[in-house]
Amino acid sequence: MSNFRVDLTNCDIEPIHIPGQIQSHGFLIVIDVDLVIRYYSDNLTDYITNTTFDLLGKPLPDFESLLGSNYQPNFISQLVISGRGSENFERTNPTPIDIAGSSYYLILSASNGYTLLEFEIANSNFDLDVQSMMGKSIAKILSYRNVQQLLDNAAMQVRQIIGYDRIMIYRFAEDGHGEVVAEEKNSDLNSWLGLHYPASDIPKQALELYKLNLTRLIADVHSVPSKISTSANNSDPLDLTYSQLRAVSPIHIQYLKNMGVASSFSISLKYKDELWGLIACHHYSPRFIDYKSREYAKLIGQILSSALEFRQDEDDQRTENIFKLNLEKLARQLMHGDNTESSLTEKEVTILSVIEASGAILVYNNKIYKLGITPGDEQLGDLMKWIKHTVAEPLYYSENLSAIYPESTAYKEIASGIMVSVISRKLGDYMVWFRPEEITTINWSGKPEKHVGLNANGLLQISPRHSFEVWSETKSGLSARWTLAEMSAVIRLKEEINYATNLKAGTARQMNERLKEAYEELESFSYTISHDLKNPIASIKSYAQLLIRDQSILERGQQMLQRIADRADQMNLMINAVLDYSRIGRSSMVSRPVNAGVLIADIVKDLELIYDVSKFKITVGETPELHGDPIMMLQVFSNLIGNAVKYSQYSAPAIVHIEGKKSDDRIIYSVSDNGLGIALNDLSKIFELFNRMENVRDIEGSGVGLAIVKRIVEKHNGKIWAESELEKGSTFFVSLN
Ligand code: ADP
């Protein structure tokens, strides 16, 4: 049925879900919605020897009558009908059935409107043992705190259940290649622990199938698969995505044969819906494991997955909390100390303690302050020249500095990883963190390349590698990866520095103060200009509209006039926005107690008139009282909550949460959403006038709201910042006194 030929160009699209055949350790019957048999596997007659007539086009009960009188006549049909309601028949699977004196499991699954009926031998009297073993296994797996012990033990438990020669836990790296991180094996086998396998060993579509089916058995790589027959007029390839018996891609079979493996079984490990890894099991002679044992093994996989998820989250949280605490301390040092440089480098907490780094420098007012292990002075001088010349983004990082700045090879033991935060490009102020080289010797299982050769027909064809001899590759110049939490910490730190220096403009940077004055002058100038521009723009628009009505002007002219009128409208909107913005700078403000609870409830009510509330979950936590200008506070919250709702409206469901927390000296409000999010490097741009990010192009907006909010907050001597992750959501924080 499938004529697909695998070659160099299409190995990633080989349609492995429609192989047109099944493995021969079971047989298959496929029925349509009306219970009529549409496909069956040719090996059916090996199992039911009394089938002499053609089943295609016959109702399922005709097949059932072949099973003998042990069963009610329509037993299987009823099973199918009752199971169809549940997700992939998990309530009915597996059903024990006797055929000609042997025990089978019937496993049902869905396939594009068809139902697959797969019959596999059941190794009975296995159950009791396995069940009691499972209880112990689970308890054991969960008792380990350390991830490695957890993995080692899971491998051991799986081996006890399925008795394979080798059980490996295979973990995927970010680039898709895999590493054996735990192993349990027969003592006479060589260990593969620590070996790496190239990403191309498992094509994309196979990864997808591992996500959908959590176990996969290849019982005997040397057995001949059985073809699936259908009627001559049916050209639909049968989708075997959810099948247990799905035949194996010829390339994969060859791969296993090259490795000397006769039987393979895998259990998928998922972490937050992504494939974290596989428990890959190899046996060097054919070995069939029945459905129930596979389900038990799957359960171990699921328990391991959730234990991993939990441990990982716990670990991440712990380090993140330490960073956060240090950052808070550093922020306090900045506020209370009168010298930025010494606050950042000489007190209890330094910039070196906010992220995991072995060295850091602060470049401030043309001086370099060194902390921890750093390159030498001359090297730092050159490095800074390079950074000033190359780094345009507010945050820059690399885990392989020597690849982009070869001069750093000389000190790659100290600085293979680098993170740069630009405090002020103009003033030449930077923070730079370093991470040492981690020499990684990657032991590949065979040279990681696919072999391309000529096949029997003289066509180029891919074949999996033949040698799995360990092939070592040493990667140098690489550091450990920078995490998202670390990048956020660095961004936050830079904001704290800006805030502190702005507050102390008078003492620390008088130039800044003068600049501010000039800026204000410019602003009042722009206010006047904007204001004065309104009249001429209104005239442009009116004249354009008058002309549009003039019948003697050709259609093309009319269209151009319409564009002029539209652009005049747009200009008007922008001018209004600038006026709003500069009005905050100019207007005086009152400071009163503001009941934030009432204010937020009103805003939410207004938003509910605009958006479809059924798609939103807006929750409000504590709302401590605020002090400030009531109208301005309304502007702040309606912008932040409005954005949260606007940019999460396509999440299903959109979740927005608002809450305030009171500490000794300030109140911090947060507005969080699970919407589109903001790229890390954009976080410092969103507060600028007219700046809108790439990912929100399809949603209307002017790019002015946050600029206004920031101004208001700063006018109240407060702080505003955001934490966000693309496609996950954002949290905006406002801290007020
Ligand atoms: P506007 O929303 O009118 O575009 P804002 O000044 O309020 O202007 O916001 C500036 C930009 O910041 C937005 O265009 C968007 O890219 C980003 N942004 C603001 N809030 C959010 C949010 N909650 N989620 C994702 N992006 C946001």
The CATH number of whichever domain residue 41 belongs to comes to: 3.30.450.20
- Please determine, for residue 204, whether its predicted confidence score (pLDDT) is greater than 60: yes
Q: What is the mean pLDDT of residues 246-275?
A: 88
678 close to ligand 1 (CB < 6 Angstrom): yes
Ligand 1 centre to CA of 250 (Å) is 51
Q: What is the mean pLDDT of residues 435-454?
A: 68
User: What's the predicted TM-score (pTM) here?
Assistant: 0.57
Please indicate, yes or no, whether residues 179 and 303 belong to a single structural domain of this protein: yes
Q: pLDDT (tens digit, 9 = 90+) per residue, 21-43?
A: 899 999 999 999 898 999 999 88
Q: Which of 34-48, 128-142, 456-470, 608-622 has the lowest mean pLDDT?
A: 456-470
Q: pLDDT (tens digit, 9 = 90+) per residue, 508-554?
A: 455 555 556 656 666 666 666 666 777 778 888 888 888 888 888 88
Q: What are the Cα distances from residue 247, in Å, to 47, 94, 263?
A: 18, 20, 13
Please indicate, yes or no, whether residues 391 and 407 belong to a single structural domain of this protein: yes
- Please determine, for residue 639, whether its predicted confidence score (pLDDT) is greater than 80: yes
For tokens 């913005």, what's the residue?
581
What is the pLDDT at residue 637?
Answer: 96
> What is the best residue among 686, 711, 726 to mutate for testing ligand 1's pocket, by most ligand atoms within 8 Å of CB?
686
Please indicate, yes or no, whether residues 93 and 227 belong to a single structural domain of this protein: no
Phi/psi of residue 577, each to 5°? -65, -45
**Is 365 in a helix, a strand, or coil?**
coil
**89 in a structural domain:** yes
Please indicate, yes or no, whether residues 84 and 133 belong to a single structural domain of this protein: no
Please indicate, yes or no, whether residues 82 and 172 belong to a single structural domain of this protein: no
Please indicate, yes or no, whether residues 303 and 291 belong to a single structural domain of this protein: yes
**195 in a structural domain:** yes
What is the pLDDT at residue 647?
Answer: 96
Please indicate, yes or no, whether residues 265 and 158 belong to a single structural domain of this protein: yes
278 close to ligand 1 (CB < 6 Angstrom): no
Please indicate, yes or no, whether residues 670 and 593 belong to a single structural domain of this protein: yes
The CATH number of whichever domain residue 282 belongs to comes to: 3.30.450.40
Tokens of 680: 């890390």
- Please determine, for residue 676, whether its predicted confidence score (pLDDT) is greater than 80: yes
Q: What are the Cα distances from residue 259, in Å, to 33, 253, 263, 453, 709?
A: 43, 10, 11, 19, 63
What is the pLDDT at residue 163?
Answer: 87
Domain total of the chain: 4
The pairing of beta strand 616-620 with beta strand 654-662: parallel
Alpha carbon distance 630, 639 (integer Å) = 14
Please indicate, yes or no, whether residues 79 and 34 belong to a single structural domain of this protein: yes
Most confident among 294-308, 408-422, 574-588 (mean pLDDT): 408-422
Mean pLDDT of the chain: 84
Ligand 1 centre to CA of 677 (Å) is 9
Phi/psi of residue 230, each to 5°? -145, 175
Q: Which domain holds residue 69?
A: 21-121
Q: What is the mean pLDDT of residues 547-575?
A: 84
Residue of minimum CA distance from atom 11 in ligand 1: 692
**355 in a structural domain:** yes
More reliable by pLDDT, 383 or 231: 383
Give the CA angle between residues 302, 305, 307 to the nearest 5°: 110
**454 in a structural domain:** no
More reliable by pLDDT, 341 or 448: 341
The pairing of beta strand 95-99 with beta strand 37-41: unpaired
> What is the best residue among 576, 695, 706 to mutate for testing ligand 1's pocket, by most ligand atoms within 8 Å of CB?
706
Q: How many residues does the chain have?
A: 737
Percent helix, strand and coil across the chain, each rounded to 5?
40, 25, 35
Ligand 1 centre to CA of 656 (Å) is 15
Residue 246 DSSP label: B
CB 165 within 8 A of CB 189: yes
Most confident among 228-232, 316-320, 380-384 (mean pLDDT): 380-384
Q: Which atom of ligand 1 is nearest to the CA of 703?
A: 8
* End-of-domain residue from the set 504, 524, 551: 504
**325 in a structural domain:** no
**444 in a structural domain:** no
Query: What is the pLDDT confidence band of residue 691, given thresholds at 50, 70 and 90?
Result: confident
Q: Say what percent of the chain tops pLDDT 70.
A: 85
**27 in a structural domain:** yes
**518 in a structural domain:** no
Residue ranges of E strands in 632-689: 654-662, 667-673
Cα of 396 vs its chain's centroid, Å: 21
Please indicate, yes or no, whether residues 100 and 180 belong to a single structural domain of this protein: no
Sequence-ordered list of residues with C-beta below 8 angstroms from that of 343, at least 6 positions apart, any chain: 330, 333, 334, 336, 337, 500
Please indicate, yes or no, whether residues 190 and 272 belong to a single structural domain of this protein: yes
Query: What is the pLDDT confidence band of residue 725, given thresholds at 50, 70 and 90?
Result: very high
Ligand 1 centre to CA of 686 (Å) is 7
CB 426 within 8 A of CB 512: no
Q: Which of 131-140, 354-363, 656-665 has the lowest mean pLDDT?
A: 131-140
641 close to ligand 1 (CB < 6 Angstrom): no
703 close to ligand 1 (CB < 6 Angstrom): yes
* End-of-domain residue from the set 87, 121, 155: 121
Please indicate, yes or no, whether residues 135 and 52 belong to a single structural domain of this protein: no
What is the pLDDT at residue 514?
Answer: 55
- Please determine, for residue 700, whether its predicted confidence score (pLDDT) is greater than 90: no
The CATH number of whichever domain residue 412 belongs to comes to: 3.30.450.270
* End-of-domain residue from the set 86, 121, 156: 121
The CATH number of whichever domain residue 674 belongs to comes to: 3.30.565.10
**Is 593 in a helix, a strand, or coil?**
strand
Query: What is the pLDDT confidence band of residue 502, given thresholds at 50, 70 and 90?
Result: confident
